[in-house]
Chains A and B, each alone.
Chain A
Amino acid sequence: MSLLSVRNLTTEFRVGGQWLAAVSNVSFDLQPGEILGLVGESGCGKSTTAYSLMELLPSNARVANGEVWLRDTQLLGMGESRWRDIRGTQLAMIFQDPMTALDPVFTVGDQVMETLREHLGLSHKDARARTLALFRQVGIPAPEQRFNAYPHQFSGGMSQRIALAIAISCHPHVLIADEPTTALDVTIQAQILRLIRRLLVEGQGTGVLLITHDLGVVAQVCDRVAVMYAGEIVEIGDVQSIFSDPRHPYTQALLNSLPSRQVEPGQLANIQGYVPGLASRPSGCRFNPRCAHAKPICSKQPPPRIQLSPEREVACVLYNE
């Protein structure tokens, strides 16, 4: 049984009185100790997918269909009180801007301590000792002094470490990380990614769903990757083979547009046109108007999902038969 299993997830947004699907029929599995990357360009629905899993959608959005299983528990629609038990203990989440999770008027140490007392039922003294230990674990220098500092006194990298400290304190089964290093400099990014790997994945066997637009980050830290375009997963599989042999035309074009993977000097390969908006997504395969290999059938019916190997699946007619 998978640790986390998402089946046919469809999430809709209300736009001018109409419900439009931002995420359509998304399915994937996450195993313990695995990092699955969810990658795509802005507006592809990767963050909406993550927020749907946690049922943390804004009021103009709804999950229209689908199931999310955490081992043998169906998470969707189980009610706010049960969610409160699960969020932060079994499912943890970190965000691009860790400051949003911290209250500016309390010291960082007190906030982490409170979280520990609430989730683990520790005494004040134990919680304080545990908090300091966590600070040391996530590499916060001079933890005794930093304990009494306020959130605005922390840099972006340090705040993300605090968010990680809170996440690891409860030994979550699944960590959902939404662009956790996008706002950070590369050297700090590397430190944070290393922490996620060492403390959670290797240390606690946590499964990580890493939402990112950065293909370099995917290549370096993920075991498997799901590529999203216009609300759908177009290709999913292990990172090694997808990066060395991308099959979906969108994945191919996306990888070729990276400056570090340029084909001919001076020119970057790129994709014609722009990502369609929610209301103007084409019928059939959503990539067909921009696809170099489009056939007449591509604009008529949605592409089949084709199992290329036990590890890999692609949604494209090119691989039919």
Chain B
Amino acid sequence: MTTVAKTTPNSQRRSYPSVQSLRAWFAASPSAFVGGTLIILLLIIAFSAPLFAPYTPEEMDFAAALTGPSPTHWLGTDNFGRDVLTRVVFGYRISMAVALGSVGVGLIVGVTLGLLAGYFGGIIDNLIMRPMDVLMAFPAIVLVVALTGFVGRNLSIMILAIGIVYVPIFARVMRGATLEIVGQLYVEGARARGASPLRLMLIHVLPNAIAPVLIQASALMGIAILLESGLSFIGLGTQPPDPSLGLMLSEGRQFMTDAPWMVIVPGVAISIAVLGFNLLGNGLQDTLNPSRKGQ
């Protein structure tokens, strides 16, 4: 007699995102929803900039220089008669490229290093993490300034430089999360079934340890936008005539009294993007971090 009862799963399946699940997600974390929506909108604007912008960013109209908002130039023009709205839209392109690029570099390198350090521990941990500590001890700005100063001033160097600053941050977060997951019973179980270290790291540890890293990534994207603006402001980042938000701020400074829109518009634009990333980060913290659930 076999007394094993046949049963079927008693609860619903997880399905692909639907309107309902979006609504549930919004209810779970309004701030992630608002932040996420904001970022997606900005990304769409940035990457289809030519479709949105009424002019091209370098198009000068000296006759209309330094005019305020008007039906032809919604957000006014700068001292060369360039359309500010157009330049902000294209400026977002650079901001987003820097945010995604630098965090992408930091994430890929940092997560790999953190995963290896946390999983293997011991000597490998020390070999990876001690240099990270040294890197972390450098002030970010100094590091970026030094790098751009050495190698040259262009967008990819800046992305790389900020990315390198981010590597130790991601490595640390990932290492901590990995240490926690490696101790889980299911990781040992998979090891007992013969899983290789690579499989254990990629299938069992990474997906379960990545949540805090993603939260960190969102916040660091906002900071990357600020860094890019700051570097461009002091002349070390994007070079004219490229439309960077920081550069626009710096150029507008001289005309602040006559044409305040030249600083207000890029300033507000930076704030909106940073706000979006921070909202998303906070929201992710609420939804992804199990220890904060239900608080």
Contacts and interface: CB of A to CB of B under 8 A. Distances in A.
Contacts of B10: 274, 277, 280
Nearest to A280: B10
Contacts of A267: 1, 3
A173 to B, nearest CB: 35
A277 B7 CA distance: 14
Interface in B1-41: 1, 3, 5, 7, 10
Nearest to A271: B5
Nearest to B2: A267
A272 B1 CA distance: 13
What bracket does the count of chain B residues touching chain A fall in?
under 10
B3 A270 contact: yes
A277 B11 CA distance: 10
12 contacts: A267-B1, A267-B3, A269-B3, A270-B3, A272-B3, A272-B5, A273-B5, A273-B7, A274-B7, A274-B10, A277-B10, A280-B10
A261 to B, nearest CB: 16
Query: Interface SS of chain A: helix, strand, loop or mixed?
Result: loop
Interface residues of A, number: 8
Interface of A: 267, 269-270, 272-274, 277, 280
Contacts, number: 12
Chain B interface, >50% SS class: loop
A88 to B, nearest CB: 28
Given A270-B3, A273-B7, A280-B10, 9 more contacts: A267-B1, A267-B3, A269-B3, A272-B3, A272-B5, A273-B5, A274-B7, A274-B10, A277-B10
A265 B89 CA distance: 79
B171 to A, nearest CB: 32
Nearest to A264: B1
A280 B11 CA distance: 10
A267 B1 CA distance: 9
B21 to A, nearest CB: 14
A314 B3 CA distance: 27
Nearest to A270: B3
Interface string B89-125: 0000000000000000000000000000000000000
Contacts of B5: 272-273
Contacts of A269: 3
Contacts of B7: 273-274
A67 B84 CA distance: 72
A270 B4 CA distance: 9
Interface centre among A272, A277, A280 (most CB of B within 10 A): A272
B181 to A, nearest CB: 25
A226 to B, nearest CB: 27
Contacts of A274: 7, 10
A272 B2 CA distance: 11
Contacts of B1: 267
Contacts of A272: 3, 5
A264 to B, nearest CB: 9
A280 B12 CA distance: 13
A15 to B, nearest CB: 12
Contacts of A277: 10
Nearest to B3: A270
A274 B5 CA distance: 9
A83 B5 CA distance: 47
A61 to B, nearest CB: 14
A277 B10 CA distance: 9
A270 B1 CA distance: 12
Tell me which of B1, B3, B7 has the highest count of chain A C-beta atoms within 10 A of its own C-beta: B3
A31 B1 CA distance: 45
Nearest to A290: B5
A123 B5 CA distance: 63
A212 B10 CA distance: 26
A277 B3 CA distance: 22
A241 B195 CA distance: 53
A93 B7 CA distance: 39
Contacts of B3: 267, 269-270, 272
